[in-house]
Amino acid sequence: MLLSGISWAHWMPSAENAVLILMGVNVGVFLLWRIADPSFMRRHFMISLDNFKSGRLHTLLTSAFSHSDTDHLITNMIGFYFFGSTISNLFGPAFLFKLYAAGALTGSAFFLLDKAFLAPRKQANVGWDNSRVSALGASAAVNAVILLQIFLYPRHLVYLYFFIPIPAAIMGAILIGADLWRVKMGHGQVSGSAHLGGAVVAALVWTRISKGWI
């Protein structure tokens, strides 16, 4: 094999391009929602217990590139661009790709665990078929990226709603607190459990960085 002596780093995009590539995939799947059969998209670009039990394991990852709503896409991509650019410049594009994938997969796993074990016990969800409840979006992956930067630089200022400067640690507390509340309250439009999966990834990666393991 002639590739044995070639460094994989040679094939990696720049830090900035890595962010744009991931954003481009999200935009591409968003456009696919406009032209493809909706049932195909639900089977292959949304996470649910039904999809998981049917063997469509790829949805653990593909759902994290999937948005059917414009506002959802824009919100996620704005956060990812600003925080992802910092992480990619600090640790390299390969690190960003791995962090995004880890946040996506863990977020999907947390979502499924919530629907399988926690949601059925909540009074608000009695009679609700949790196997068919589905989710999509990059939020868990983006959460991993945003919170990792917050854990690394808790005293840096970030701008809430682009205008209000607050310490990053406060923003992190707001994000995690809101998701814990969502999990406690049960059924809602936003999956706190999936977001918390991204937060767990960020915490684990931050711990490894702090100990010099990365």
The active-site residue, picked from 66, 88, 108, 139, is: 139
Radius of gyration of the chain (CA): 18
- Residue 72 annotated as catalytic: no
- Residue 39 annotated as catalytic: no
Q: Which residues contact 133 (CB under 8 A, 6 or more apart)?
A: 48, 49, 115, 119
The active-site residue, picked from 88, 108, 191, 195, is: 195
Tokens standing for 72?
Answer: 């959802």
Name the residues annotated as catalytic. 139, 195
